[in-house]
Structure 1
Amino acid sequence: MIEEKLESLGIKLPNPPTPAGSYVPAVKTSNLLFISGQIPMEDGKMIFTGKVSDDNLETAQKSARMCAINILAQIKKELGNLDKVSKIVRLSGFVNSVPEFSQQPKVINPASDLFFEIFGEKGKHSRIAVGVASLPLDAMTEIDAIIEFSG
């Protein structure tokens, strides 16, 4: 069912990115799945890099959406089926922004909106969106997630 929703939105899940450091992409415990921070990588290449400012807000929003798609790819890899998701519990969004930028929530909104659109009520989550001085590989955004699952 979720796969059909993705298809209707024109989203094809990529192979999930491999970690850029000494950690695992996901950890399951009880009925929670912790997804490590996902950056805007596609086919092993960083797509959105650099500092976020008022001048490139729309590009940064695309970066956040790509992070969300990579989170979905990691969930599918770990659970085998996105229909096992019973709740998107929390997203933590990090924005590689210039010091005077203060619209981090607007940058991360497209990621949240994608989860709302795909999962409906199950997609409603708590969230933080913060600006940071830098991110790994000069990524514009990084988002991690906590997911509740069943089965």
Structure 2
Amino acid sequence: MTSVTDRLRELGVELPEPAEPAFNYDPVARHGDLAYVSGQLPKEDGVVRITGRVGEDVDVETAGRAAGICALQGLAVTAAALGGIDRITRIVRVTGYVASGPDFHQQPKVLDAASDLFVEVFGEAGRHARSAVGVAELPRDAPVEVELIVAHDARG
């Protein structure tokens, strides 16, 4: 069985440095064998580089790329909290928020980039329940924010 670390290497995917919270919250809260991952913005080198509302300032493809960045950030903070990416046993739930312009209704399509990444990396264990929610605004003018619930190896 291929480890998650090996699978990331095969895909040519590197996890970014975990984003540090700017406000009063934990990036990951653990309870039993579940880890609740706070909403992650599409930060690259600590900066949200893709900004604006989808369907107005940002196209669906670019928003999908932002969702993928959020997903990688989520994995990075989770790996840091658990002591390694290989401790994740399943992606249980993904909630995605899409800053949407008027008449934009393709939120699920935007979130598919994050969902596709999780399935590519974790196989069947990457399939998850999901909500894709359109909102008026997100912090730092981000087009997408993604939060996760993951199951993990709670031993040790």
Same fold (TM > 0.5)? yes
CA drift at 1:20: 2.9
1:77 and 2:100 matched: no
2 CA distance for matches of 1:124 and 1:116? 6
Give the aligned partner of residue 88 of structure 1: 91
In structure 2, stretches of 5+ residues that fail to align are none
Deviates more, 1:93-102 or 1:45-54: 45-54
Give the aligned partner of residue 144 of structure 2: 141
2 CA distance for matches of 1:139 and 1:40? 7
User: 1:92-111 to 2 correspondence within 5 Å?
Assistant: 92-111=95-114
Deviations 1:32-89 (A, max 9, x none): 1000000000111112110101761100000000000001101110112222212111
CA drift at 1:22: 1.5
Greater than 2 Å deviation, 4+ residue runs: none
Please tell me whether the aligned partners of residues 99 and 143 of structure 2 are also in contact (alpha carbons under 8 angstroms). Answer: yes
Give the share of equivalent positions with the same residue, in percent: 45
1:45 and 2:10 matched: no
Give 2:136's aligned amino acid. Answer: A
Q: Secondary structure at the match of 2:54?
A: coil
1:131 and 2:125 matched: no
Q: Secondary structure at the match of 1:66?
A: helix
Deviations 1:84-116 (A, max 9, x none): 212111000000110210000000001001001
Please tell me whether the aligned partners of residues 94 and 129 of structure 2 are also in contact (alpha carbons under 8 angstroms). Answer: yes
1 CA distance for matches of 2:85 and 2:30? 15
Query: Between Structure 1 and Structure 2, how many residues are aligned?
Result: 151
Give the aligned partner of residue 113 of structure 1: 116
Q: Secondary structure at the match of 1:99?
A: coil
1:25 and 2:45 matched: no
Deviates more, 1:131-140 or 1:20-29: 20-29
Q: TM-score, normalised by structure 1?
A: 0.96
Give 2:94's aligned amino acid. Answer: L
Give 2:31's aligned amino acid. Answer: T
In structure 1, stretches of 5+ residues that fail to align are none
Please tell me whether the aligned partners of residues 87 and 148 of structure 1 are also in contact (alpha carbons under 8 angstroms). Answer: yes
Give 2:6's aligned amino acid. Answer: E
Give 2:96's aligned amino acid. Answer: G
CA drift at 1:3: 1.1
Please tell me whether the aligned partners of residues 17 and 42 of structure 1 are also in contact (alpha carbons under 8 angstroms). Answer: no
